[in-house]
Structure 1
């Protein structure tokens, strides 16, 4: 339930009461004795779904918008009349005015926003370098990225240019700050005792996850955008949804910063693509869901104008996401190819170990060097095979070529195969 309190200017009391009667809500009038410009305060308890029609009725009746209308959440209302009111006003979404106010509150002051974002990025960067998923998720609780993402979309839908511009600015500037913070931390840590000599960021699983994104990453961003709007318009679970949005943005941005610090262009491009796709997808779904939820500018004359702006933004976002998805699709295909070659090689080596034609030879996969860049550069996978040879066992002169041909047939691609023969003795 909500409690709407209207500070009524001199001469407008009848207008307010008539609007309340037309809306079909109960009210109480308190006389104002402060000798100010208000003659009374009208208190109106209503369900959340009745706030917007009540405020729209006041506006249409010519009520002065320079006066005060305060909407507060009522924790408990003890009255059977409240149930009857709730039955007449169905719906679960909050009013346009509450939506705008909550979106503005979720986008904190710039100083607070950047301090929290830098702290969150620092923790997330440490989690990436330590390969600690728990640390990364903990950092996301601090990240304040949900507010700007939703504020930008709310500003567009309700025709608040200032709110929309502020949301866009905080998102872009925040991600730039996150990348710069991670790059600085990475630059300071390189070559120190905190990281092993020759530390390679591309071998860390948590980082590798962000530099080999695939099209499934879109589901996290799209789902986060939908969940963010639902939590905002229904006032549920905003903290947990904020974590989901932050997970989609901060760790990839921190990975971009580490790629800058280590001088890895591939890391910067792949993780950067993931950041942009997630950012655009969250904004796209937020815009669409807000509009489908029925939110419009309070001035009817502005609806067509706002719809045109929203349509153009949706088109731009869809095109940008489609272009970036080509990169994600390429990464998905390349990652699949590298994994498929490694799987086929391993499977064939196991079959060769069981093949009587090779006697007692045991084949082991030492390593397969085949990265994403090799797929598109046309480089052959380099496979190193360890062969355990029992004492007295010999292999044919064309043994290496035979092994290579079998592996190439299994993998369906030309390989460069190196074979390491090891004489083994096993105790009884």
Structure 2
């Protein structure tokens, strides 16, 4: 279940309570009159079956309370209540299949932010990938896969395409379009230094057969990207964050970027172009798989439908916090 907390202007509280009482997926409804200070108003709280959340949020949005008051939505770790059990049974669909769109939008909105931390993680990942290529170290390549933060904006782009949220799509594309070139340019500078020092050699890279898979594009490259993207999106919508680690170490995005830089520095252009192709294929495959998963959730297990975007006041949490 999810816990809803609403600060409601006093003149709208009665209508809000009637809306919540009318929904069978809502329970544990409480009202504290005049307790809110900023913004002023009443505090209304309730527990909501996850599969009923989209409709409840849509009804609250229709009242305009997100502009005159505010709301937060968070998970309930454990509920011991017959009333809660009845609310879950009365709500349409299955809780494990429900996509709470505002929750997903806020999470992906945060993960798609282009900031110093995002650039730092991606740069470190690209540097690790270049070292893995130079030392023929699959373990270092896996480390680069795990450190890379690129799945966040890719997932956000998938959500944006399904929701027709072009602002979020633009934000995600900018994050990817800026961060990868910056990270690769920094990696290029470091690679030039390492080549000059003799730490990276053409013979060493050509002989690094354990990491040849990075630049060798084949039909399974697309299959793996689609499977990983689908698993990643499922992990987001079901709050099973542990599955994301498997996603990170199965796609060849950051390693391909690092290999392309090293190969280009040494004049191995066929390997550089192959790595660039691998990078593009994985990026596209992950986004396509994310869109497919969300569309399938809408058409099968998830009884709810996307609602208009609320003002971003819902609390943001990482998967670990959920």
Same fold (TM over 0.5): yes
Gaps of at least 5 residues in structure 1 are 301-428
Cα deviation, residue 195, structure 1: 4.1
TM-superposition CA deviations, 1:284-304 (whole Å, max 9, x none): 11122222322855249xxxx
Counterpart Cα distance in 1 of 2:305 and 2:166: 14
1:221 aligned to which of 219, 225, 239: 225
Aligned to 1:167: 172
Map 1:86-105 onto structure 2 (within 5 A). 86-89=88-91, 90-91=93-94, 92=96, 93-105=98-110
TM-superposition CA deviations, 1:305-330 (whole Å, max 9, x none): xxxxxxxxxxxxxxxxxxxxxxxxxx
Gaps of at least 5 residues in structure 2 are 299-303, 310-322
Aligned to 1:4: 4
Query: Does residue 133 of structure 2 align to residue 132 of structure 1?
Result: no
Cα deviation, residue 34, structure 1: 4.7
TM-score by length of 1: 0.65
Does structure 1 retain, via aligned residues, the 8 Å contact 2:60–2:66?
no
Counterpart Cα distance in 2 of 1:182 and 1:267: 17
Q: Which structure is richer in relative contact order (CA contacts within 8 A, separation 6 or more)?
A: 2
Counterpart Cα distance in 2 of 1:296 and 1:81: 25
TM-superposition CA deviations, 1:318-377 (whole Å, max 9, x none): xxxxxxxxxxxxxxxxxxxxxxxxxxxxxxxxxxxxxxxxxxxxxxxxxxxxxxxxxxxx
Query: Does residue 243 of structure 2 align to residue 233 of structure 1?
Result: no
Cα deviation, residue 53, structure 1: 1.5
Instruction: State the 4+ residue runs in structure 1 displaced beyond 6 angstroms.
Output: none
SS of the residue corresponding to residue 144 of structure 1 reads coil
Aligned to 1:357: none
Counterpart Cα distance in 1 of 2:264 and 2:234: 36
Query: Does residue 153 of structure 2 align to residue 148 of structure 1?
Result: yes
Does structure 1 retain, via aligned residues, the 8 Å contact 2:111–2:156?
yes
Aligned to 1:270: 274
Aligned to 1:290: 294
Cα deviation, residue 139, structure 1: 2.2
TM-score by length of 2: 0.85
Map 1:387-402 onto structure 2 (within 5 A). none
Does structure 2 retain, via aligned residues, the 8 Å contact 1:3–1:46?
yes
Does structure 1 retain, via aligned residues, the 8 Å contact 2:36–2:43?
no
Cα deviation, residue 132, structure 1: 1.1
Cα deviation, residue 103, structure 1: 0.8
Counterpart Cα distance in 2 of 1:106 and 1:37: 28
Does structure 2 retain, via aligned residues, the 8 Å contact 1:103–1:151?
yes
Aligned to 2:34: 32
Aligned to 1:181: 186
TM-superposition CA deviations, 1:122-166 (whole Å, max 9, x none): 112111211111111122222111111011121232233222111
Larger radius of gyration: 1
Aligned residues: 297
